[in-house]
Amino acid sequence: MRRAEKRVLIIKLAFVAVFAVLCALIWWYQLGVVRPRNACLAHPGAQWFAKSHACVVPPGADCEAAGNWWDPRSKTCARVVHIPDFTGRR
């Protein structure tokens, strides 16, 4: 191989490696956020993995724990608004 071809190959491999790492990080974020064990005990939907000493909390667990509404399809946390709150009627 020539010198230029080796450089191109190294650049290609570097981009593939960066792409693979970013894909893995996005997948891990979509799966859940890693938290310490104390936070795992506070959330009802959390899972504790003893081998890796990691707690995975689904993204909607924080939202539902705060009393809000979680939409898994659009990944939106929405606050419940009661009609009397914005109409001013009692």
Burial of 59 (0-12, 13-18, 19+ CB in 10 A): middle
Regarding whether 85 and 61 lie in a shared domain, the answer is yes
65 Cβ neighbours under 8 A, 6+ residues apart? 42, 43, 44
Regarding whether 75 and 43 lie in a shared domain, the answer is yes
Asked if pLDDT for residue 43 goes beyond 80, the answer is no
Regarding whether 83 and 68 lie in a shared domain, the answer is yes
Regarding whether 66 and 25 lie in a shared domain, the answer is no
The torsion angles phi and psi of 43, rounded to 5 degrees, stand at -105, 130
- Per-residue pLDDT, 38: 63
Regarding whether 57 and 38 lie in a shared domain, the answer is yes
Q: Which helix (H) or strand (E) holds 20?
A: helix 3-31
Regarding whether 82 and 59 lie in a shared domain, the answer is yes
Domain hosting 83: range is 33-90
- What percent of the chain is modeled with pLDDT above 70? 79
Average pLDDT over residues 14-22: 97
Q: Confirm whether pTM is higher than 0.75.
A: no
More confident residue, 60 or 9: 9
Domain count, the chain: 2
How many CB atoms sit inside 10 A of residue 40's CB?
17
